[in-house]
Amino acid sequence: MKVLRHKIELLTGLLLQEMTMAGLHELRFTEEKPLLRGQDAELENSDVFLSTADTDWKTPYGLLHVVIRGSPKGNRPAILTYHDVGLNHKLCFNTFFNYEDMQEITKHFVVCHVDAPGQQAGASQFPQGYQYPSMDQLAAMLPSVVQHFGFKYVIGIGVGAGAYVLAKFALIFPDLVEGLVLMNIDPNGKGWIDWAAAKLSGLTSTLPDTVLSHLFSQEELVNNTELVQSYRQQIGSVVNQFNLQLFLNMYNSRRDLDINRPGTVPNAKTLRCPVMLVVGDNAPAEEGVVECNSKLDPTNTTFLKPGKLTEAFKYFLQGMGYMPSASMTRLARSRTASLTSASSVEGARPRACTHSESTEAMGQINHTMEVSC
């Protein structure tokens, strides 16, 4: 595989951008119909199936809130997203999926957003004594969603807790997962010291503040006060706090992901599909992501720290044969135009430090992106 090296600005906007509640216009999906599978050419320009659907889907371990955007595109996989603790699909992914380059991608795929139980906006509060699904059970809820909506397999995009769930899903049901983009994943369970610290934090901090310490580094909490305040307000008002506490408790009780790089231990078990790991500089999960990278097969793993996420995702999909060449040509033209503009404005300043490119994300962190495709 050829290794492409680019100096580019950060776009891990799922955790570092200001969130917007405007975006997806949702319709209530009530009628169950089988999805038809035809030729790629027929479905490519068709938007008659599940153009926008919003439903609570019953699984063996409880209800999942599922939102579908677009229609199946022949035999291409669906893009399935799973959000982090304290967020839901809107808070976590709206800004990212509304970005122009990402819309260039999603027109070729049907997108399935999954909200963890009770985390969607307007969710009813679980009763006292409700046993929230374990992380293994959250992963085991996904096959029924995939099968119900007629997806042959999926490409998963997960953030934090959602990345852990999707990794579990891929380990348990490898035939249903074509590829994974895992952002800020921590493959390690909490030890006794971490568990005690989390308990103490729960006694001395508000729930939104506890979640913020999971989403942001201490440096970011101090320096990005406006962004942090926006998150604090939305975490406290959009997601039901009782339900959120249950999800957070279960995430903090997770076990180590049972993965090891092939050849390091007998009968090593790891993710079989192509994986793109993403982590921001100084992110709380940075050490965890680095360790996860060390346990995956290097021949099908891409480590992005950080880079222009939409561009990297396009190359990731192209490597699996899912992005048409015309789209990649448009990407190259767009990239050339933006770099030419940046150079003319910034003069002799290094391109990696230009402000024009940093407007694509709230964060302004420069690093070398390494993409294998």
pLDDT, one tens digit per residue, over 269-282 is: 999 999 999 998 77
Residue type, 310: T
Of the pLDDT bands very low, low, confident and very high (cuts 50, 70, 90), residue 187 is very high
Contact criterion met (CB below 8 Å) for 85 and 56: no
Confidence at residue 134, expressed as pLDDT on a 0 to 100 scale: 97
pTM: 0.75
Distance of CA 310 to the CA centre of its chain: 12
- 372 pLDDT higher than 70: no
Strand pairing class (177-183; 301-304): unpaired
Of the pLDDT bands very low, low, confident and very high (cuts 50, 70, 90), residue 200 is low
Place of tokens 């506890």: 210
- Measured CA to CA, the distance from residue 292 to residue 274 in angstroms comes to 14
Confidence at residue 370, expressed as pLDDT on a 0 to 100 scale: 32
Confidence at residue 359, expressed as pLDDT on a 0 to 100 scale: 29
What CATH code is carried by the domain that includes residue 168? 3.40.50.1820
- 371 pLDDT higher than 70: no
**CB neighbour list of residue 285: distance below 8 Å, 6 or more residues apart:** 160, 184, 185, 186, 279
- Measured CA to CA, the distance from residue 254 to residue 117 in angstroms comes to 16
- Measured CA to CA, the distance from residue 306 to residue 10 in angstroms comes to 5
Identify whether 345 is part of a domain.
no
Domain residue limits at 95: 52-320
Among positive and negative, which fits the CA dihedral 317, 319, 325, 327?
positive
- 44 pLDDT higher than 60: no
Confidence at residue 191, expressed as pLDDT on a 0 to 100 scale: 64
Instruction: Return the minimum-mean-pLDDT range out of 132-141, 149-158, 329-338.
Output: 329-338
Identify whether 36 is part of a domain.
no
Residue type, 136: D
Q: How far is CA 147 from CA 27, 134, 137, 345, in A?
A: 21, 21, 17, 51
What is the arithmetic mean of pLDDT over 164-176? 97
Identify whether 270 is part of a domain.
yes
Confidence at residue 326, expressed as pLDDT on a 0 to 100 scale: 54
Contact criterion met (CB below 8 Å) for 174 and 152: no
Identify whether 35 is part of a domain.
no
Identify whether 309 is part of a domain.
yes
Identify whether 305 is part of a domain.
yes
180 vs 262 pLDDT, higher one: 180
Identify whether 180 is part of a domain.
yes
Identify whether 301 is part of a domain.
yes
Confidence at residue 323, expressed as pLDDT on a 0 to 100 scale: 76
- Measured CA to CA, the distance from residue 264 to residue 286 in angstroms comes to 23
Instruction: Return the minimum-mean-pLDDT range out of 18-27, 230-239, 289-298.
Output: 18-27
Confidence at residue 203, expressed as pLDDT on a 0 to 100 scale: 58
pLDDT above 90 as % of the chain:
51
The total domain count for the chain is 1
Strand pairing class (78-82; 62-69): unpaired
